[in-house]
Amino acid sequence: MLEASDLRKGLKFQIDGTPYIVAQFQFVKPGKGQALYKCRLKNMLTGVQVDQTFRSGDKLEEANLEETEMEYLYSEGDSLCFMDTSTYVQEFLTKEQLEDVKELLKENTICRVLLFDGRPIGVTLPNFIELKVAEAEPWAKGDTASGSTKPVTLETGLTLQVPPFIEEGEVIRIDTRTGLYVERVKG
C-alpha cells in the first residue's frame, strides 16, 4: 500500500481496479487541518484525465503493472501485434492505445510494453529510432529564403521537418520523446 505522502508526478497506482498515473501534483497545507494533495490523474486504460484530492493519511493501492520487452511485428486492421522476445507470446494493442507512438513504429522495433494484470496497455519506444526518408522535395543550394527546414515523409507515413540537405532514401535518427529530427545516419 502507498500513502498519500508518496504521491509525485509519474507515480502509478490503482483506484477501484483501474490504473492511474499522476500527471500533475500540488501539495497544499492550509493554516489548520490536514495537508491536501491535489492531483490530476490520467486513466492509463482510457487516457481520460480527472482531478482528485487526497488527504494526508489516505491509503492508495499499488497497480499491478509490469514492463516487458516486446518486438513489433505487424499491423492488422485496427490492431498492432507485439511478440514477447523471451516467451514468443503475441499480444495485440489497438491504434488508440498507441496514439502518440504509432507513426514512429516500424516492423521489428524492440519496445517496452506496459502490462496491467497481464494485459498490454501501452508502449514505450526506444529513445532514438532510425527511419528511412520515403519522399523529400529537392533542395536548391543557396535557397535560404524558404527557411532552414523542409518537410519529408518517412517510411511510416510520418511527415517531419528536417534540414534541407536531407534527401529521399536517406536514413535519419529521430528522438521519440520529442518527435524531432536529430541527425542523418551514415550508411
- 37 plus 88 within the same structural domain: no
pLDDT for the residue numbered 145? 57
- 37 plus 69 within the same structural domain: no
Range of 53's domain? 2-62
- 77 plus 42 within the same structural domain: no
- Distance between CA atoms of residues 139 and 143, nearest Å: 8
Match 508502449 to its residue by C-alpha cell: 123
Is 174 a residue whose pLDDT tops 90?
Answer: yes
What's the rounded mean pLDDT across residues 28-36?
85
- 44 plus 80 within the same structural domain: no
Decide which of 78, 95, 124 is a domain's last residue: 124
- 117 plus 134 within the same structural domain: no
pLDDT for the residue numbered 41? 93
Is 117 a residue whose pLDDT tops 90?
Answer: no
- Distance between CA atoms of residues 133 and 155, nearest Å: 6
* Torsion of the alpha carbons at 162, 164, 168 and 172, rounded to the nearest 10: -40
In terms of pLDDT, which residue wins out, 84 or 143?
84
Q: What is the average pLDDT value for the chain, to the nearest integer?
A: 88
Q: Is the whole model's pTM more than 0.75, yes or no?
A: no
CA distance from start to end of the chain: 51
C-alpha cell at 44: 492509463
